[in-house]
Each structure stands twice: as structure tokens, then as C-alpha cells.
A and B are shown apart, each in its own frame.
Chain A
Amino acid sequence: MTRRRVLPGLRLALGVTLLYAAIIIVLPLGALVFKAASLGPEDYWRIVSSGRALASYRVTVLSALAATAFNLVFGMALAWVLVRYRFPGKRFVDALVDLPFALPTAVAGIALTTLFAPNGWFGEPLAAIGVTVAYTPLGIMVAMAFTSLPFIVRTVQPVLEDLDPALEEAAQTLGGSDASIFVRVILPLLAPALLAGVSLSFARSLGEFGAIIFIAGNQPFETEITALLAFIRLEEYDYQAAAAIASVLLITAFLMLAVTNLLQARALRYTARG
């Protein structure tokens, strides 16, 4: 006898899920790949390896890496504070974390540009010490870090909440220093969540568009991100080139998520019951 379940049976649930996944995710991506594939291999290669495209990959990937590294540290610290301490306004800060998700990215971009412009609240004092953020790669990193911060906080937070403080106490009674407890006990237990957060944060940064184009300056070879280059080709009605460039982003994101999943499975092997 089959067990009665709350949600409708496998066939219906699976059917609906697959249909939605096909329409919403696979179809547009398929169209993209199809469009890009309509170029010959030589044309495809010429477009994706042109100097301007290569420069845009470099800017995008390096900025995304920097933004993700920043979020890794800052997001983990934020999650730690939100879980382990009680302070006035904690719920407000907790709600604030989701703001980059809720805010239209263009609004975020305009706000950041205003702040970091040479006469802005942050831009002016920074200019005084010789740091320019707006219209430089640094601006791209700021915009990426802003829009992808919630990923790390929200993936690490629940795991930290479940982390038994007795584990740290046990490590202390065994003579562990704060550094060795962090490295040997806390970090390995957070690793799967951190990995998930990092990969989401990085993928989001690779694809971010709206927040960046306002602050980046968009100089070809210097501050032009890959998504913008695809958009420019689109505006020139060069759909095939746009699809080719976009396909590079797609493949990168896909490969990275696949690798992260593998790493995550490895990091979680201790939960397997034998």
C-alpha cells in the first residue's frame, strides 16, 4: 500500500515541476544556446575571444571574486553577530540584510553612484585620500558586493543557529585556542553553507547588470562588464553576438555551480549514516 501524502502524488507534482522548469528556465536558455549556435564555430570563437570581450571577462570575474571575498568575511561576521548577540535594533538589522534583494538594482546603482560620486557623501572624503570609486572597477565591486551580500548571510545564519555552543566549550576544555577552535571546529561546520553562499553570491555578481552600469563608467576595456557588452550587441541588433557573449556567462555560472555542489557533497560526507 502506498502512503498517503499531504501534497498530490509524484506524477502530478513531478509533471508540474518539470513543465515549469522547462518553460521558465530551460526554454530561454535553450533559445540562447540555439541562437549562439547558429554562428559558425569560427565566428563564435572570434566574437567570444575578441579583445573587448576578454577585457570584459577579466573585469567581471575579478570584480566578482573581490566582491565575493569581501562578502565572505563581512557576511559571515554579520551572520555571527545576528545569531550570537542580543542588541537593540537587532531585528531591524536583520531585516536590513534583505534590502538588496528587495531594492530594484537600478535604484541601488543610482544610490551608490550618488554616494560615491566625487561630490557625494562617501566620494568626497575618499577623493581627499586619493581613492576614486565611481566609474572605476572599484565601483563595480561595491555594486556587486551590495547586491549579493544577503546570499552569504542567509545561508550561514541558519547553520550558525543550529551550531551547539557546547562544541566550542568542549574544544576550550580540551585546550583549544580561539584560533584553533575557529579553524578546526567552527569553519569546517560552516563550510558547506559558506560554499553555497559564496557560489550564489559569485553567480549573482557575474550576472549583475542594473546596479553596476550606473556606477561603472562603462569604458570599453576598463570598466565594461560582460553583461553590458551583451546588451550593447543587442542594441546594435547583433543578436547572435549578444547570445554568444551571454553563453560564456551561462557556461561559467553553470560550471561553477556544478563544482560547488560537488565540493558541498564532500564537505557534508560526515552526515551520511552507515
Chain B
Amino acid sequence: MKIRLDNVVKTFETFRAVHGVSLDIDSGQLVALLGPSGSGKTTILRMIAGLEYADGGRIFFGDIDATAIPVRDRGVGFVFQNYALFPHMTVGENIAFGMKVSKVRRSREAMAARVGELLDQVRLSGLADRFPSQISGGQRQRVALARALAVDPKVLLLDEPFGALDANVRRELRRWLREFHDQLGITTIFVTHDQEEALDLADRVVILNEGRIVQQGTPEEVCRRPDSAFVMRFLGDAHRLVGKVTGGVAKVAGGTVNVDGPQAGEVEILVRPGDVRWGEGDIPASVIRIIDRPDGRRLLARLDDGSDVEIDTPPETAVASGDRGTVRVMRAQVFPLRN
């Protein structure tokens, strides 16, 4: 099912949560809505589900205008952040709930068969008679998923699906969800504030800030060609230098950085720790701190204009706090300086 949002607006009392968001999602895609808290990502998800009504704009499911269709008739599967499993029902009853309240009558046997099939799919066979309080967080999440899928939704919506799980379970479930999505082929939208999760899982990432879409594209597009300093910083560690560009070279803190592209004049230069070298180049700097990590050493260095950069180096790099030296910026994203 294709989903299309056309200039959707949502205001809460005095606070505008979503400003004219337009978005096209192709059938069968796995899309991440990524943004910091307060960026409106959950509100957008809830509007697609029909749990919030849009104050303006339209939402289309395929060619049908779904804007005014109430949530119970919209045919979405929604997985809540804390799963919202019914605590007084067993796992099996939770999954069967949608079929029981459906207008389509099913026989008891048909429902039991479908529940068994879904439990197999989410690899929880044998847990049908447990109550939600008797299973682990990761299992609850998969029950919530099975419950949402039981009513054959047109689109699957997940609100921070891994937010309440610990790091190891999270990584494992993420891989599993990706495989699961590829089997089912159902259009899926999930909300997250974790860029690693979004990049790891999604076909397409929609980055939001303050109720607006700031950039969207494949993980490769948003990583390689961030179109604002916000996106660059939000997607990973980045440090900001300020310089002046003339003829493809920026003068920065007593040294130079090569920049591609047409920029000229005052610019901000954003660099990732992996794209900076220690002991090369011509920008003078001193090491302030050294952080040792399993996969290398990270140096925190201060340039002579007071700005800081972080540098990823191999683990055997011989360097001590307080050392003077030079750094070279291998690759950078350059944006015109805003005042």
C-alpha cells in the first residue's frame, strides 16, 4: 500500500507539532522517521494511524483519502512503544483480539490456527498461554507485532520499536525485523531517535526537526550528502570549524582545508572523527584528551582558534595528552555560514 501525506499540519493547543509535512512512501518500503525528541515524528505516525486527526492537509492510503477514516476502520497495525499488551489476556488472546472484535466472523478453529501461525512467524510457539507479565521484553515486542499483523493491516506502524529493550536484544531484534519485513513485504514505517537504528534498518530515512522534514533519502544519500549542518550532526559525531574559502581552499585556524564545490566566503566546515588525521597536514593543534576504545584511539584536539576536533587513530598511535602537532582534514562537508 502506498502512503502519501500532503501538507499535513498538527497543532497541540498553542504548540505546532507538525508544519506542512509532505511525504510519499512506496508500497512495501521500510521507512524510518528519524528525529530528536519534539521533532513531530511520533505525531506524524499517530496521524497516519488515525490516533490523531490532522488539523490540515490530507493522508492517502493508495488512492483513497484516509484523512477522515477513524482509526478502527483504517486497517493499520500499530506497535506501541511499551507494546500496550492487554495484561489480563494471555499471549494467544492478545493476538486473537483483533479477529474477535472484527466484523468479519471467524470460527474458533480458524482463529486458533491463525494465532498458531503468527506465533510461529514471530518464533514464540509454545508461549500462547502465558500472560504478558510472564515473558521478557523482547518477547512482548514480538507479541505486539503478531497482534498487529493478525488483522492483515495495509501498513505497519511502529513507535520506537526497540526503545524499551537493552542493547544486545535490540541489535538482534533489529536484524530479525528486517528479515521479517522482507518476507512479508508490507509497507512499514517506524519512528526512532536512534540514527544507527534508522540507517541499519530502513530503505529510506526521513529526518525531521521541529515539525519539518529536513532531508529524506536512502541511508547512503543522507550519509554522503547531508544537505544541512543539522543532518550532518544528527547522523553522527561531527565537529564544526569556521573558515574562509577562496579558490577551493578554506583557511582555518592557521592552516588549510581543501573543499570541493562552489562555496566561497565564510563557511562552516563539518568533519567526522574518521576523516581527520593526526600528524599530517598544516593545521596546528594540541591533544587535550585521549579516549581508548576497543577499535582504536580517539584524540580530542584543540585548534589554535579554540575549536575542538576529534580524531580516530589506530590503537597503536603513540601520542600523549598535551602533545603539539598538526591535523589534516581528509573529507568535510561545507555549508555557508549562517549568522
Contact = CB atoms under 8 A, between A and B. Distances in A.
A166 B98 contact: no
Nearest to B104: A175
Given A173-B51, A273-B133, A274-B134, A180 B84 contact: no
A169 B84 contact: yes
B174 to A, nearest CB: 22
A174 B82 contact: no
A274 B98 contact: no
A173 B148 contact: yes
B177 interface: no
A170 B80 contact: yes
A173 B82 contact: no
Given A273-B133, A274-B134, A173 B88 contact: no
B278 to A, nearest CB: 50
A174 B88 contact: no
Nearest to A180: B101
A181 B84 CA distance: 14
A166 B84 contact: yes
Given A170-B78, A184-B101, A176 B84 contact: no
A216 B48 CA distance: 59
A156 to B, nearest CB: 16
Most buried by B among A164, A170, A270: A170
Contact of B76 (A167, A173, A272): A173
B130 interface: yes
A180 B100 CA distance: 10
Contacts of A173: 49-51, 71-72, 74, 76-78, 148
B51 A169 contact: yes
A270 B131 contact: yes
A46 B76 CA distance: 68
Contacts of B151: 174-175
A273 to B, nearest CB: 6
Interface residues of A, number: 23
A169 B101 contact: no
A176 B86 contact: no
Interface in A51-106: none
A27 interface: no
A175 B102 contact: yes
Contacts of B87: 189, 270-271
A119 interface: no
Given A185-B86, A270-B87, A166 B101 contact: no
Nearest to B46: A169
Contacts of B51: 169, 172-173
Q: Is the contact region of chain A dominated by helix, strand, or loop, or is it mixed? A: helix
Given A173-B76, A173-B77, A189-B88, A166 B82 contact: yes
Contacts of B130: 274
Interface string A148-171: 000000000000000010110111
Contact of A270 (B73, B80, B103, B133): B133
A177 interface: yes
Contacts of B72: 172-177
A164 B88 contact: no
B142 interface: no
A188 interface: yes
Nearest to B131: A270
B97 interface: yes
B145 to A, nearest CB: 12
Contacts of A185: 86
Contacts of A272: 131, 133
A171 B101 contact: yes
Contacts of A189: 87-88
Interface string B75-95: 011101110111111000000
Contacts of A172: 51, 71-72
Interface in A258-274: 270-274
Nearest to A185: B86
Nearest to A191: B88
A174 B134 contact: no
Given A170-B84, A175-B151, 18 more contacts: A164-B82, A166-B81, A167-B84, A169-B80, A172-B51, A173-B71, A173-B74, A173-B76, A174-B150, A174-B151, A175-B98, A176-B97, A184-B97, A270-B88, A270-B89, A270-B131, A272-B133, A274-B131
5 contacts: A169-B71, A170-B86, A174-B72, A174-B150, A175-B102
Interface of A: 164, 166-167, 169-177, 180-181, 184-185, 188-189, 270-274
